[in-house]
Amino acid sequence: MTENEFFFDQDRVRIINDSVFQTKKIKRNSVDLIITSPPYNVDIKYNSHDDKISYDQYKEFSKKWMSRCYNWLKDDGRFCLNIPLDINKGGQQSVGADLTKIAKDVGFKYHSTIIWNESNISRRTAWGSWKSASAPYVISPVELIVVLYKNTWKKTSGSRQSKIEKKDFMDWTNGLWSFSGESKNKIGHPAPFPVELPRRCIQLFSFVGDSILDPFLGSGTTLVASYLNDRKGIGIDIDANYCQIALNRLKKEAGIDVTGTKKPVPLPHKKTEIKKILITQSDIVLQHFKDYPSQPMSYKDVGEWIMGEVEKGSFKDIKAYEKIMRTLAKNGEIVKISTGVFNYETSSTK
């Protein structure tokens, strides 16, 4: 590949076959959202990457690629980092905590962590010490999506057009996500994540027309999700075969035209295509009860919670919250347990 060549380049999709450490094809401060799953250093047999280095080398590797990503992000850009919670085989390591610390050392600010429950608890055979406290193994069948940002969490750049269903917004802002992993055999890559992962991050954390980057593109999952969600996608992978798999998937799963015809970026102002988030104040109050299903809450509790969230900038003031609570109770959404005190769930009713 010469200096100016991309593996694939169209208005809304770019594939760069290069190393994340070397490429000069991404401008500083140009990316709105990075979504990636880096190599985990668990001895996966990639074509062009050694996935079995010492843990110290792995931390150095992580620091270097995260620094590059930091420079590529816009000031209000975000970073969704899919990593293991920990590693149990070949020496226990707190990967999730260590890489989060490295991201913060590089300059990122921490926002939150989503726990991805892969729902594929395989039949376990390694118990450490069976039914004995001498040396049992504990294995958590989850991964993390650590959500970080560069400078300001409030997003001011871009089209300001969101494209997310009300139910999805409410479900996904609960940071416990459950969906299955992706099949390596089906995709032809040793460690793909499912399209559902970048799809949720894209809809939740970016605007229509934004630039989404995956510096470890693999089989192109992030680009498929970006294209299908009317964003621009850029992917980097060191391996040309994986770049080709990504391109094939874009043709097949996203229907992109690879003949060279440029498709225009959908204009964010085409309002007919965009479903706005319609979340009422009543939805917000109800969600708070759902988040703490067994906890009775008084008007005072809810009022204080609203005040705190308004201060954090989560939403605008909800002045009529007492009336909302009464209406929710009247409609059977929450239960009145005494004067001015309500609960989402009582053991007998839900």
Ligand X SMILES: C[S@@+](CC[C@H](N)C(=O)[O-])C[C@H]1O[C@@H](n2cnc3c(N)ncnc32)[C@H](O)[C@@H]1O
Stretch that binds ligand X, among 153-161, 205-213, 233-241, 252-260 (CB under 6 A): 233-241
Residue 193 found at the interface with ligand X (CB under 6 A): yes
Residue from 7, 149, 242, 342 in contact with ligand X (CB under 6 A): 242
Instruction: Work out the number of other CB atoms within 10 angstroms of the CB of residue 135.
Output: 8
Give the three-state DSSP class for 175.
Answer: coil
Q: C-beta of 66: minimal distance to ligand X in Å?
A: 12
Nearer Cβ to ligand X (218/268): 218
54: exposed, middle or buried (Cβ count in 10 Å: 0-12, 13-18, 19+): exposed
Residue from 12, 68, 189, 199 in contact with ligand X (CB under 6 A): 189
Which tokens hold the place of 269? 């102002």
Which tokens hold the place of 97? 């905590």
Nearer Cβ to ligand X (35/328): 35
Whether the CA torsion 103, 111, 192, 199 is positive or negative: it is negative
Q: Which residue is nearest to ligand X (CB)?
A: 218
Instruction: Work out the number of other CB atoms within 10 angstroms of the CB of residue 299.
Output: 15
* Cα(74)–Cα(27) distance, integer angstroms: 10
Q: Give 58's contacts (C-beta < 8 A, 6+ positions apart).
A: 41
Nearer Cβ to ligand X (21/315): 21
Which tokens hold the place of 230? 């009317």
Number of shown-chain residues binding ligand X (CB under 6 A): 21
Stretch that binds ligand X, among 156-164, 236-244, 279-287, 299-307 (CB under 6 A): 236-244
Residue 243 found at the interface with ligand X (CB under 6 A): no
Helices (H), 146-236: 166-172, 184-187, 196-205, 221-228
Residue 37 found at the interface with ligand X (CB under 6 A): yes
Stretch that binds ligand X, among 13-21, 144-152, 158-166, 300-308 (CB under 6 A): 13-21
Distance of CA 167 to the CA centre of its chain: 17
Nearer Cβ to ligand X (93/327): 93
Which tokens hold the place of 285? 């109050």
Contact 253, 195 (CB under 8 A): yes
Output the CA–CA distances (angstroms, integers) from residue 249 to 19, 109, 192, in the order listed.
21, 33, 12
**Pairing state between β 13-17 and 232-237:** parallel
- The mark string for 68-107 relative to ligand X (x by CB under 6 A, - otherwise) is ----------------------------------------
Q: C-beta of 239: minimal distance to ligand X in Å?
A: 4
Stretch that binds ligand X, among 134-142, 186-194, 276-284, 326-334 (CB under 6 A): 186-194
Q: C-beta of 127: minimal distance to ligand X in Å?
A: 28
Chain residues that interact with ligand X, rule: CB under 6 A = 19-21, 37, 39, 46, 48-49, 189, 191-193, 216, 218-219, 221, 236-239, 242
